[in-house]
Structure 1
Amino acid sequence: MTGVWVLLGVLALGGVAGALLRARDGRVRAAKSGTSTLPGRVSDALAPDGVTLVQISTTFCAPCRHTRAILSALAEKTDGLTHVDLDVTETPEVAQALSVLRTPTTLALTPDGREVFRVGGVPRGQELLDALKPHLANA
């Protein structure tokens, strides 16, 4: 009988942990205060004006493809918004320098390299657009 209770406890705990992770996935999080030096590969990709969405992805990441489609479409229809996809499969030091622990992660960066916010997982389109509006000139 003890084994059944342990099994039920583990299942309940797993369900709660899964629900919490799912709730966090795709949410816009404000940037942490403090400045960090951007790797050259990232700073070279920044647009001279507006906001650049830097997507950190890996080669065999299925959610990364979905994120790429969302961000590309958003950048095409939004003035002052640029999307750059960086595959860190061969250069993990970029992810380490940016404190990226999962893919896809999207960073919203200003032309001077300041991080405005980040999204872990597949972003929610309207929530992302709402977070970008204050940072875009023609929003």
Structure 2
Amino acid sequence: MTGLWVVVGTLVAGLLVGALLHRRNGRIRTTAEPAGESAELPEPVTAALAPGSAVTLVQISTTFCAPCRQTRALLSHLAERTEGLHHVDLDVTDRPHVAQELGVLRTPTTVAYTSEGREILRVGGVPKGPDLLAALGPHLVPEVERGSH
């Protein structure tokens, strides 16, 4: 009888962990960083920032990550169709120190940066396109429009 309770407990725990991970997948977390301050970025991230774009989406991926391919397709599509948005896929398979320095614990993780290197938001897992664009909207508005609000 004890074996049956162990199996049931394991199944329940697995279902709860799975539900929690599914719920957190694609959730956008804004970064509460004081204005004017930005963390020291690893060189591959600094090199990936597009000076001519308002926002650069840096996707942290690994070679054999299936959700990373889905995220790459989504973010590339958004960047092609959104002015001021640039996408870079950074494979950290052979550079785990980059993920460690950024505090990335899973792939894919997408981090949005301003052209100056200030972090705006993070998404763990595959982002939801409309939600991501809505969160980035204030950063993508041209300077002329921002000044009139």
Normalising by structure 2, we get a TM-score of 0.87
1:29 matches 2:68: no
Moved more, 120-129 or 65-74: 120-129
2:94 partner letter: E
Among 16, 38, 45, which residue is 1:42 paired with?
Answer: 45
Moved more, 69-78 or 24-33: 24-33
1:60-107 CA distances to partner (integer Å, 9 max, x unpaired)?
Answer: 111111100000000000000000111111211111111111111100
1:30-59 CA distances to partner (integer Å, 9 max, x unpaired)?
Answer: 125364200111111111131000001111
State the alpha-carbon separation in 1 of the partners of residues 135 and 101 from structure 2.
Answer: 24
Give runs of ≥4 in structure 1 deviating > 2 Å. 32-35
Task: Tell me what 1:12 maps to.
Answer: 12
Offset, 1:2: 2.4
Moved more, 64-73 or 32-41: 32-41
In structure 2, list runs of 5 or more residues that go unmatched: none
Offset, 1:26: 0.9
In structure 1, list runs of 5 or more residues that go unmatched: none
What SS class does the counterpart of residue 56 from structure 1 fall into? strand
1:97 matches 2:101: yes
Task: Tell me what 2:117 maps to.
Answer: 113
Match runs of 1:50-129 below 5 Å: 50-129=54-133
What SS class does the counterpart of residue 44 from structure 1 fall into? helix
Normalising by structure 1, we get a TM-score of 0.93
Alignment identity in percent? Answer: 63
CA RMSD of aligned residues (A): 1.5
> Aligned residues, how many?
139
Offset, 1:6: 2.3
State the alpha-carbon separation in 1 of the partners of residues 48 and 18 from structure 2.
Answer: 35
1:94 partner letter: V
1:4-31 CA distances to partner (integer Å, 9 max, x unpaired)?
Answer: 2222122112111110110001111112
